[in-house]
Amino acid sequence: MVFDAIVAGAGIWGCTVARTLADGGKRVLVLEKRAAVGGNVRCETDPETGIEVHLYGSHIFHTGIDEVWGFMRRFTEFNGYQHKVLARYGGKTYFLPLGLALVNQFYGIDLKPEELPAFIAKEAGKTCAEPSNFEEQAISFIGRPLYEAFIREYTRKQWGTDPRNLSADVIRRLPVRASYDVNYFPDWRQGIPLDGYNAVFDRMLDHPGIEVRCSAEFRLDDPEFAPSAERPVFYSGPVDELFGYRFGHLPWRSLRFERERAAVKDFQGTSVVNYTGAEVDFTRIHEFKHYHPENRGAMEAPSTIICREYPKAWKPGDEPYYPVDNQASRELLAKYRAEAAKVPGLVVGGRLGEYKYYDMDKSVARALETAKAAC
């Protein structure tokens, strides 16, 4: 087949771009360096129990964007799973996010919804007018005791640095609610693909206009796949890797997952428990069977698959997970973006390419926008 476009990297961004281009009549070659498509959303089924194991940490699809939900629903039905996260701290278990359930339990009080904001404001005390870092922002949101219990050490583990060195933006991800709503995400359009994530990517790429080659790495200096105005390349790997790290490495946080089969039917009673104190090095434990309550066989199986998540600094060869947003990384990113802009037909996107802390739905939204503009 003669191709009109190349998609390098078959994660959720790349697959969405490929499908949208193909729907628009383009012939698309997808190159994926791993042995299988799906990027970090890739899963595998445990043969013993039928549990869907998320290989790169828990992925819960949730969105407030109609178009994204409509797009995903073309390829899968979602189960009714609504994500809840619990936190272990000081020998007790709390419901996140920070809301009435957690605050009342933590302080041993019984606030009503309308009383929570004033209580939190009092706890927050006098804080600086314009919080300039993560810690100041967090304390101005929730006060010091809650910050120290649920945020400070978790964040230190997650980012490998004192929270005072982090940008205030990261904490804006964490909701505070004046209610007993313990859904972690505010989006009611939420769930796990009924027959698993892998099937979603297979269906997205199942189109006569798409050819997929796995274990095929894209390189900018490979003349066979060179981008041009006539045959663009949509690349979603790390942008610094694309240019041979010529200005240096963009900093990432990486993760190490320690997977274990526990010989109990239910290890922790829920899918994710955060460990917010400093007494353990991991940040959370995932228990995957809880993502598919409709899969009765897996739920009733006598064992369960759990996974401890240990954050670590990224070094070459590790998987990049979280971009580290600071002044130095922004400057470095600007240099790589300028390089990319010089290459006609090269479009860089996705969490790795854009170096942005995107949830899955934001990647899909960006991909739809990018691909539609190219059709």
Interaction site with ligand UDP (CB under 6 A): 87, 96, 150-151, 154-155, 158, 170, 173-174, 274, 276
Question: Between residues 12 and 205, which has the closer beta carbon with respect to ligand UDP?
Answer: 12
Nearer to ligand UDP, 81 or 336 (CB): 81
d(C-alpha 308, C-alpha 284), whole Å: 6
Decide: 274 and 268 in contact? Cβ < 8 Å.
Answer: no
Whether 34 is catalytic is: no
**In the complex, least distance from residue 154 CB atom to ligand UDP, rounded to whole angstroms:** 4
Residue 159 beta carbon to ligand UDP: minimum distance, rounded to whole angstroms: 6
Within 13 A of 162's CA, how many CA atoms are on the CB side? Answer: 4
Instruction: Tell the residue number behind the tokens 């600007």, with chain if given.
Output: 334
Out of 152, 284, 351, 366, pick the active-site residue. Answer: 284
| E strand intervals along the chain | 5-8, 28-31, 43-45, 52-54, 61-63, 85-89, 92-95, 189-191, 210-213, 233-235, 252-262, 272-275, 284-287, 304-313, 322-323, 346-348
Catalytic residue among 32, 241, 359, 361: 359
Closest to ligand UDP by CB, 227 vs 251, is: 251
Residue 309 is a catalytic residue: yes
Q: Is the separation of the CB atoms in 305 and 258 below 8 Å? A: no
Q: How far is the CB of 38 from ligand UDP (least distance, A)?
A: 18
357 assigned to active site: yes
Annotated active-site residue in 56, 310, 322, 357: 357
Is residue 30 within 8 Å of 19, Cβ to Cβ? no
What DSSP designation does 251 have?
A: P
User: Least Å distance between CB 363 and ligand UDP?
Assistant: 13
User: Would residue 256 show up in a list of annotated catalytic residues for this protein?
Assistant: no
Q: Which of 76, 158 has the CB closer to ligand UDP?
A: 158
Is the separation of the CB atoms in 82 and 190 below 8 Å?
yes
| Cβ–Cβ < 8 Å for 15, 37 | yes
User: Which is nearest to 204 in space by CA: 52, 41, 350, 10?
Assistant: 10
173 is a catalytic site residue? yes
Q: How far is the CB of 69 from ligand UDP (least distance, A)?
A: 20
Contact 28, 4 (CB under 8 A): yes
Dist CA 175 CA 173 (whole Å): 6
The residue (of 76 and 276) whose beta carbon lies closer to ligand UDP is 276
d(Cα 347, Cα 234) in Å, to the nearest integer?
5
Q: Which of 153, 241, 287, 309 is catalytic?
A: 309
Minimum CB–partner distance for residue 174 and ligand UDP (Å)? 4
Q: Which residues are catalytic?
A: 173, 177, 253, 284, 309, 357, 359
